[in-house]
Amino acid sequence: MYADIVIIGGGASGYSSAISAKKTNPSADVVIVEKLSRTGKKIIATGNGKCNLSNISITEKNYHGSLNTVKIINNTPDWYELFERELGVMCVQGSEGRSGGIYPHSNSSSTVVNAFRLKIGNLGIKEVCDFEVKSIDGIDGYYIIKSYDKQIISRKIIIATGGYASPSFGTDGGMLRIFRERGYKISKICPAVSPLKVSSESLKGLKGVRVKGEISAISDGKTLRTERGEIQFNENNISGVCVFNLAYLFQKYGEKLSLYIDLLPEMDFESVFEYIKNIKKDRAECSIDELLTGIFVRNMAVYLMKNTLRRTMTDKIKSLTDGEIRGLVRRIKGLNFDVSGCASWQNAQATCGGIHGDCVTENLESRLETGIYFCGEVLDTVGDCGGYNLQWAWSSGLWAGKKCAESLKGGRND
């Protein structure tokens, strides 16, 4: 089999790159090869099945890595042009999750996949499934792409194989290993948009507790990033969207990272102190495990008392000193956990690290091998939770597809 352009990986960036390539050069044969039995499987799982496909606010701060991500996003059609105008997917700004998230109006990710597949079929782009690429050999300006007993010959290749996150959707980092062997610089890989591990000992009594608060990632006394939102305590990790947005920091700081949680960020230290002193007056004869009832859920209230005061819980509230209450407020405003690891790939939504920006041109073409382009999560860029990773996948795919097809127009190895 021969194709002018072979796109390896039938996920988010594979879809958009195929459409962009075919529209740029309608006479080109464009083929998507996919390892799984169907394309688009991961997209179906996104946004809890609702697909948070973009965000109304895209800034440099939302992306981390060695690529000029936002420049590429700004150079390509935005979510409105791509989904509403090109694909006919009616979109809405979601009421759930991060503010500014864009979702399909149907509230179903399958709407997005169906619209892509319809467009791909209408444009005459072929899909070849159950084709796991195991090797790529360059010979005389052509590439031989092999999968076990099958092969395809092509002039140009777009690598859209994703990273390591959620391997059950076909993304086990296999292609990154192939490119590492070919001499590409791969930035340190680590799970992102994922929980952060802390010791189960430090979480004793908190399993299943959810709070609203402010969480900061700190290393060597320096605050790296602060997020507000719901924080969930599990057996050996802390999760929630605001924690997901800190997880990429593990790549650089590893176990030097600590998490500080302010459980009452809307109040300053003295206001919390006065508030608790008033409670002390009202509940003077109650046992101290009732001091924080009404402020926190029971397990959190008991956790705070037990881990701060050297008391038996049956002591009377009236016996608490101002010094003890101040100690308690310090804990409420700065609940501290040392990060002991990152999540497993199964529990990660994205990959931090990948093909380094130094290895690709502004057109996302390889600087090492002419005619090979990259897009999506395989590249060294990761976005925050809230539609940023899919936006990068769509945009980098559109850009790589366009540039790849343009180079085909100009000659074999243009």
CA distances in angstroms from 410 to 25, 76, 406, 407, 413, listed in the order given: 11, 21, 7, 5, 8
Question: Which strands make up the sheet holding 101-104, listed edge to edge?
Answer: 54-55, 101-104, 91-93
Q: Which segment (73-81, 168-176, 228-236, 267-275) binds ligand FAD by CB under 6 A?
A: 168-176
Q: Which candidate, 335, 364, 406, 317, places its Cα nearest to that of 72?
A: 364
Please tell me whether residue 8 binds ligand FAD under the rule CB under 6 A.
yes
Which of 65, 94, 104, 170: binder of ligand FAD (CB under 6 A)? Answer: 170
Q: How far is the CB of 159 from ligand FAD (least distance, A)?
A: 9
Binding track, positions 41-80, relative to ligand FAD; x by CB under 6 A: xx--xxx---xx----------------------------
Please tell me whether residue 102 binds ligand FAD under the rule CB under 6 A.
no
Which of 65, 240, 387, 401: binder of ligand FAD (CB under 6 A)? Answer: 387
User: Which of residues 42 and 333 has its CB atom nearest to ligand FAD in the complex?
Assistant: 42
Which 8-state DSSP code applies to residue 274?
A: H
Please tell me whether residue 197 binds ligand FAD under the rule CB under 6 A.
no
Whole-number Å distance between alpha carbons of 153 and 33: 12
Q: How far is the CB of 82 from ligand FAD (least distance, A)?
A: 14
**114 in helix, strand or coil?**
helix
Please tell me whether residue 384 binds ligand FAD under the rule CB under 6 A.
no
Q: How far is the CB of 83 from ligand FAD (least distance, A)?
A: 13
Which of 279, 350, 398, 408: binder of ligand FAD (CB under 6 A)? Answer: 350
Please tell me whether residue 239 binds ligand FAD under the rule CB under 6 A.
no
Binding track, positions 303-342, relative to ligand FAD; x by CB under 6 A: ----------------------------------------
Asked whether 2 and 383 are in contact (CB, 8 A), the reply is no
Q: Which candidate, 14, 19, 9, places its Cα nearest to that of 147?
A: 9
Whole-number Å distance between alpha carbons of 125 and 119: 9
Please report how many Cα atoms fall inside a 13 Å half-sphere around the Cα of residue 55, on the Cβ side.
Answer: 21
DSSP class per residue in 133-176: --EEEEETTEEEEEETTEEEEEEEEEE----SSSGGGT-SSHHH
Q: Which segment (166-174, 205-213, 259-267, 273-281) binds ligand FAD by CB under 6 A?
A: 166-174
Please tell me whether residue 353 binds ligand FAD under the rule CB under 6 A.
no
Please tell me whether residue 276 binds ligand FAD under the rule CB under 6 A.
no
CA distances in angstroms from 248 to 95, 159, 286, 341, 381, listed in the order given: 26, 23, 45, 12, 10
Q: Which segment (39-47, 83-91, 277-285, 353-361) binds ligand FAD by CB under 6 A?
A: 39-47
The string over 207-224, giving b where at least 16 C-beta atoms fall within 10 Å of a residue's C-beta and e elsewhere, is eebebebbbbbbbeeeee
Size of residue set near ligand FAD by CB under 6 A: 40
Which of 30, 73, 175, 192: binder of ligand FAD (CB under 6 A)? Answer: 175
Please tell me whether residue 191 binds ligand FAD under the rule CB under 6 A.
no
Q: How far is the CB of 185 from ligand FAD (least distance, A)?
A: 19
- CA gyration radius for the chain? 25
Provide the β-strand partners of residue 103. Answer: 92
Asked whether 247 and 385 are in contact (CB, 8 A), the reply is no
Q: How far is the CB of 161 from ligand FAD (least distance, A)?
A: 4
Please tell me whether residue 371 binds ligand FAD under the rule CB under 6 A.
no
Please tell me whether residue 231 binds ligand FAD under the rule CB under 6 A.
no
Which of 6, 28, 238, 390: binder of ligand FAD (CB under 6 A)? Answer: 390
**For the chain, how many residues are written?**
414
In the chain, what is the greatest distance between 2 CA atoms, to the nearest angstrom?
88
Please tell me whether residue 248 binds ligand FAD under the rule CB under 6 A.
no
Query: In the complex, which residues of this chain contact ligand FAD (CB under 6 A)?
Result: 8-14, 33-36, 41-42, 45-47, 51-52, 132-133, 160-162, 165-166, 169-171, 174-175, 349-350, 376-378, 387-390, 393
